[in-house]
Amino acid sequence: MLKGFMPTAMEDKWMVITDTPDAQGNTVVHAYHGWAAHEQFSLTIAAGNPNETEVKNWATIPKISWKVQPGRQEVQVSEKEAKQRAVDLCKGLLHCDLENA
């Protein structure tokens, strides 16, 4: 997830960019879709204490934000749908192992 994803072919519709982590290791992952690269959602990633966490449980996602698309204000995405899209993208495109998702 932290590496992000840059499209390599015209068929690739997603781009994922991660902000530089702060001093505590927390960061925000931004997911963009389409030719105009409209941000679809962002995930706030909170790093765990490396001395108190298992390697596989190094972080949590305490916040998911999703956007209304320009020109599509009439299309509302529910919280459940936004979370499912984020999970699907992270598992499918980024090959993340998400627990409790």
* 9 part of a folded domain: no
Collect all residues with Cβ–Cβ distance below 8 Å to 29 and sequence separation of at least 6. 1, 2, 4, 16, 17, 18, 19, 42, 43, 45
pLDDT in tens, the chain (101 residues): 878 899 888 888 899 999 999 998 899 999 998 877 889 999 999 987 767 666 566 788 899 998 876 666 656 778 898 889 999 999 999 988 887 76
Six-digit token pair at 77?
């995405």
* 6 part of a folded domain: no
* 24 part of a folded domain: yes
Tally of structural domains, the chain: 1
* 28 part of a folded domain: yes
Give the residue ranges of DSSP H helices in the chain: 79-92
* 3 part of a folded domain: no
Range of the domain at 44: 14-92
